[in-house]
Structure 1
Amino acid sequence: MHRYESASRWARTKDAFTSWRAFHDAIRLKSASSMLANEDLLPSPPERQTWTVWNFFAYWWSESWAVSTWSIGSSLIALGATVRDALLVVLFANILSSVVIVLNGRAAARYHVGYPVLARVTFGIYGSYFFVVLRAILGIIWGGVQLYFEGQFISICLRCIFPSWTSLPNKIPASQEITTQVMVGFFLAFVFTLPLMFIHTSKIRHLFSLKSIIFPLAALGVVCWATTANGGVSSNKLIDASLRSSSPSVFAWGIVSQFNSVMGANSALLVTVPDLARYSRTKNAQLYGQVLGLPIAQTICAAFGIIATSAVHNMYGEAYWNPYDLLNSVLDHSYTSRSRAGIFFAAASFAFATMGTSVACNIVPFAADVTCLAPKYVNIIRGQFICLIIAFAIVPCFLSGYSIFQGSVVAIMSVDYFLIRHGNLYLSDMFTASRLGRYYYSYGVNMRGIAAFIIGFVLPLPGFVGSFGTVSVSAAATHMFNLGWLLSYFVGGVSYAVICFATARSMMKGSREAPFEGNVPHHIETGSGHDRLIVDGMEIVGLADHEHEHGPEGLCST
């Protein structure tokens, strides 16, 4: 064994800082054979294909219990919608989301590769980088937002312990929209999340199983307390029916906008799913687990949010839609030992759930993305640390219309897999920069996918620009923006299908002549302790750097 590999971890660490070359050798991944492959980009080996139906169900059940889902009824109720109408909007939006999730996860479950690699099939070996960066930005922004949410709940826990917590001096300017207390909570959220960065995605499924139990119980506790203290739900005190009757068209477009908002809130999840589905034990495990978990759980969570807010509004005279505002309001009105104990456990549960949401929706996809951007130096574990550090450094903010750029991506990838490729992908071509590779296209870019992506978001784009309030736009532009994710999804998908059927018969020919998912995926894995790749038991040298010697399906082998 090499002297460096046999040395202790501390000795290797000291040796890494003796020179720039030693540092470079220390951080370079031994499994990285090229700019296109490392251990976390290659298909997941059988020992990592561990996610079952229950794991996927627990994941989506747990991720549905989040701050954004709890407060999602606020905008619907503000329009004058009844509780029934609000919940129906949430239910049907999540049914559509679950269908999209299953479609987008199918290729990953069969070929066991994640989003960055599947994007090469649709957008080209080099064209995929743009779409990887596009998703990585979303992960960073929402990572900071979720840390902020988690910090709010941790601050509440500290308030329950220390009566003087609210009287701490606040030297942070009001323009920063954060207090000293929340900033301390924000820092502690970072510290508490840090240990989870050591856990690989394939092994973190138990976190979601735990969250799927803890958060619903905590939420149920809050709802039971609120309705008991109020003596009922009192939803009629929260709903203003005159808002609906005064302008039916405004109400109708508002409902459409909120339906789209639910899809937009799920947009990160819809794109992320291949990075989880790749670990599916069978190709159908993700199907049954995902189609059931999301609609049921999000509808129940939204219902809990509406019920608790209605009851507290009747008691305190104000609607607290964010759960951390609601918990703080309880302490404002009753700072007894009993209240402090109950609120502490509720806030701690909400903080844990928010941490799980951040890991699943933001840190995991970002980590997958940066493994693609720097495969020689970054794997899943390192990528998770990078995401957490950058998310901590940014100012939390929302990109409300960002989903218009994600909708067309998901649609194009689904159309490409089911309609254009007929479910037949070729793993060897996903890891080669050869001009003869199936997914090289022109200079490594599939211009059909790029064109469909642009067509997909161009219609809601003027309304998106107008949403910032800097320019005025027409009512039609606003309505198209209200349909943002839905419009970009359907227009992008249809555009890609039309363009491919019109111009890419030769590209489609080989895949569509075979039965659906009729090809047998090559099994690719890293050789133990060596910089090599194994395909069906055969050692492959320079899979990504050598030209194919036998056409698109050929492999340079020893």
Structure 2
Amino acid sequence: MAPPSEYTFSEKVRFAFSSPQNFHQAITLDSAKSKFINEDLVPSPPERRTWSAWAYLSYWWSENWNVSTWSLGSSLITLGLSIGEALLVILFANILSAIVIVANGVAASRYHIGYPVLARATFGMYGHYFFVLIRAILGIIWGGVQLYFEGQFISIMLRCIFPSWARMTNTIPESQGITLQVLIGFVIAFIVTMPFMFIHTTKIHYLFSVKSIIMPLACLGVVIWATSSNGGVSAGVLSTPADKSSIAVFAWSIVSQFNSVMGSNSALIVTVPDLARYSRTPKSQIIGQLLGLPMAIVCAAFGVITTAAVQNMWGEAFWNPYDLFNGILDHTYSSKSRAGVFFASLVFAFATLGTSIACNIVPFAADITCMLPKYINIIRGQILCLVVAFAITPWHILTSAPTFLNFLGGYSIFQGSVVSIMLVDYFLVRKGNLDIGALYDGSSKSKYFYTFGTNWRSIVAFIVGFVVPLPGFIGSFGTVTVSASASRLFYLGWELSFVFGGVIYWILCLVFKVPGQEDCTRPFHSMVDDDWVLPDGETSTGVSAYPQVPVVENYDEYEKKVENGVRVNEI
């Protein structure tokens, strides 16, 4: 029988379902040479390094324009901050996030490997699975929530087209937390999103280029409508100013909001290697990401201005855009307002799709690839994420699980130490040197096998990192009373976990040397080759083999040659 690769699509389907053995053969990836390697886990070959500095800049600029960022500034103001104070908190938190993101993308852009493979060097060949899993679970949950948001906007679009849409009888019990209209929009959102799951990460940056243009224009249109209808901004009506008589109370309020912004960025800070690995040059991800994220201040400002103007007009604050659009239709259902809301909802639905792909689906796909490399690649992982996100009925999470949502809000205390440990391991312990071949070697002789496949130093540092703010995190649920000091430590949750995790790991590595640490005496002296070497020494070109790591005496000269298109084996 001919191999399935030679069949047409219909023949492959018939072959796959002809017997259990054939089904297993059909879903097994040819590139899976072991449980640690497949086509999307090996270093990206040159043809997959497609992300330029502009691609990263447009990615972050477009990613700034989303429901969460729009609502963030307004929600901070409800806590007593002025508009200027809220926007400054967002700006400086995003600047810090951008710096850490760029630092965490350096190894990926030089070795062209993603977060799951990089995590093997820090946490061990088996220990890394836990840190990949906690990110994958988060990707599914928020992927479902973003799909629900997308469905909200689609439902609004249908309301603009059909005047009877809002009056349609809702046959779903109120206890389910969703209406028939929104459920229809949710199903449509799933169908619309599915085709994008077949696009590999190397090509998805075109979606963000489109979003980076149309989304700001749509938001600008909403702001112009709000301010012109109100006759101004009316910024002072949003909240009661914070009590600044106590400098300490006000300062801790600022710190708490700063930490909340860092928390919202924490998942992407950890998994940014899954994007940085596709950088054309190491400098591409630095320029694009360092400039892109701080520009989120523009979207947050638009959200604040719009919310203030609308509240002054109608006496009600619409903190998120889908409530705002429904509010507009409630107050005026003219042809002009319907057209405006339809196109704004269309753009926001598209933007939400992009946010879900960037923040949840792509990271999940990369994560699950390392767990089941024999059966899952990036494309299959993306499809799996969307299907599971659809199945978890995310509206139940939003409407009936406030405690769980509170947990997700404080999840950053478990993320801060992960990224700091990885940064210390790469920059200080190994001085930028990774043994790429060892990252795919699961034998006990591998330098990244450590103790029973786990680097106990990183595990201890991780625990210490989140233990410090943990009492305040528990107290945030309201079921246990904790001291003011514990609460304030939680206000610095991400920052404390980042600092303590990294410092403890550095100390442990000084006392208990990691395998191969003594070899890392010269910074950044090795790079991954564009050719691959099979385990038996047979040279091959392609994603199915192990990479060779040559020694480079002059890193700066090497990097210039690579940027000019010279292959490693020609240097």
Q: TM-score, normalised by structure 2?
A: 0.90
Residue pair 1:523, 1:536 contacting (<8 A) in 2 also: no
- Aligned partner of 1:104 in structure 2 is 104
- Aligned partner of 1:292 in structure 2 is 291
Residue pair 1:275, 1:365 contacting (<8 A) in 2 also: yes
SS in structure 2 at match of 1:426: coil
Deviates more, 1:477-486 or 1:13-22: 477-486
Q: How far apart, in 2, do the equivalents of 1:393 and 1:328 lie?
A: 26
Runs of 4+ residues over 4 Å off in structure 1: 524-527, 532-544
The CA RMSD measured in Å over matched residues stands at 2.0
Residue pair 1:76, 1:255 contacting (<8 A) in 2 also: no
Residue pair 1:79, 1:251 contacting (<8 A) in 2 also: no
Is the counterpart of residue 435 in structure 1 residue 434 in structure 2? no
Q: How far apart, in 1, do the equivalents of 2:481 and 2:53 lie?
A: 48
**Can you list the C-alpha shifts for 1:307-332, whole angstroms capped at 9, x where unaligned?**
00000010010111111111111111
Q: How far apart, in 1, do the equivalents of 2:544 and 2:280 lie?
A: 29
> Residue 155 of structure 1: CA displacement?
1.0
SS in structure 2 at match of 1:169: coil
> Residue 426 of structure 1: CA displacement?
1.2
Residue pair 1:104, 1:414 contacting (<8 A) in 2 also: yes
SS in structure 2 at match of 1:284: helix
Letter of the 2:222 counterpart? V
Is the counterpart of residue 521 in structure 1 residue 507 in structure 2? no
Residue pair 1:409, 1:489 contacting (<8 A) in 2 also: yes
- Aligned partner of 1:218 in structure 2 is 218
Residue pair 2:447, 2:515 contacting (<8 A) in 1 also: no
Residue pair 2:32, 2:544 contacting (<8 A) in 1 also: no
SS in structure 2 at match of 1:437: coil
Letter of the 2:495 counterpart? L
Is the counterpart of residue 411 in structure 1 residue 420 in structure 2? yes
SS in structure 2 at match of 1:192: helix
- Aligned partner of 2:491 in structure 1 is 482
- Listed as ranges, the matches of 1:465-544 within 5 Å are 465-504=474-513, 507-511=516-520, 513-514=521-522, 516-523=523-530, 537=540
Q: How far apart, in 2, do the equivalents of 1:525 and 1:190 lie?
A: 39
- Aligned partner of 1:233 in structure 2 is 233
Residue pair 1:156, 1:344 contacting (<8 A) in 2 also: yes
> Residue 541 of structure 1: CA displacement?
9.9
Letter of the 2:281 counterpart? T
- Aligned partner of 1:424 in structure 2 is 433
- Aligned partner of 1:364 in structure 2 is 362
Q: How far apart, in 1, do the equivalents of 2:360 and 2:536 lie?
A: 30
- Aligned partner of 2:192 in structure 1 is 192
Is the counterpart of residue 278 in structure 1 residue 277 in structure 2? yes
Residue pair 2:532, 2:545 contacting (<8 A) in 1 also: no
- Aligned partner of 1:63 in structure 2 is 63
Letter of the 1:223 counterpart? V
Q: How far apart, in 2, do the equivalents of 1:540 and 1:339 lie?
A: 53
**Can you list the C-alpha shifts for 1:274-305, whole angstroms capped at 9, x where unaligned?**
00100000011000000001101x10000000
SS in structure 1 at match of 2:409: coil
Is the counterpart of residue 402 in structure 1 residue 411 in structure 2? yes
Letter of the 2:436 counterpart? L
> Residue 254 of structure 1: CA displacement?
1.8
- Aligned partner of 2:137 in structure 1 is 137
Letter of the 2:363 counterpart? P
Count of equivalent residues:
536
Residue pair 1:533, 1:539 contacting (<8 A) in 2 also: no
- Aligned partner of 2:566 in structure 1 is none
- Aligned partner of 1:75 in structure 2 is 75
> Residue 435 of structure 1: CA displacement?
1.7
> Residue 476 of structure 1: CA displacement?
1.8
Is the counterpart of residue 165 in structure 1 residue 162 in structure 2? no
Q: How far apart, in 1, do the equivalents of 2:448 and 2:383 lie?
A: 31
> Residue 395 of structure 1: CA displacement?
3.4
Alpha-carbon spacing, 1:320–1:248, altered in 2? closer, same or farther (3 Å): farther
- Aligned partner of 1:460 in structure 2 is 469
SS in structure 1 at match of 2:291: helix
> Residue 466 of structure 1: CA displacement?
2.1
Is the counterpart of residue 260 in structure 1 residue 259 in structure 2? yes
- Aligned partner of 1:385 in structure 2 is 383
SS in structure 2 at match of 1:166: coil
Is the counterpart of residue 444 in structure 1 residue 453 in structure 2? yes
Q: How far apart, in 2, do the equivalents of 1:428 and 1:395 lie?
A: 42
- Aligned partner of 1:116 in structure 2 is 116
**Can you list the C-alpha shifts for 1:52-85, whole angstroms capped at 9, x where unaligned?**
0000000111111111100111332122211111
Q: TM-score, normalised by structure 1?
A: 0.93
> Residue 508 of structure 1: CA displacement?
1.9
> Residue 177 of structure 1: CA displacement?
2.6
Residue pair 1:50, 1:280 contacting (<8 A) in 2 also: yes
Alpha-carbon spacing, 1:246–1:156, altered in 2? closer, same or farther (3 Å): farther
Alpha-carbon spacing, 1:539–1:199, altered in 2? closer, same or farther (3 Å): closer
> Residue 468 of structure 1: CA displacement?
2.1
Alpha-carbon spacing, 1:246–1:126, altered in 2? closer, same or farther (3 Å): same
Percent of matched pairs sharing the same residue: 60
> Residue 536 of structure 1: CA displacement?
6.0
Residue pair 1:76, 1:258 contacting (<8 A) in 2 also: yes
Q: How far apart, in 1, do the equivalents of 2:68 and 2:375 lie?
A: 35
Residue pair 1:42, 1:525 contacting (<8 A) in 2 also: no
Alpha-carbon spacing, 1:454–1:33, altered in 2? closer, same or farther (3 Å): same
> Residue 119 of structure 1: CA displacement?
0.3
> Residue 170 of structure 1: CA displacement?
1.9
Alpha-carbon spacing, 1:536–1:244, altered in 2? closer, same or farther (3 Å): farther
Residue pair 1:37, 1:431 contacting (<8 A) in 2 also: yes
Q: How far apart, in 2, do the equivalents of 1:102 and 1:534 lie?
A: 35
In structure 1, runs of 5+ residues without a counterpart are: 545-558
Alpha-carbon spacing, 1:533–1:92, altered in 2? closer, same or farther (3 Å): farther
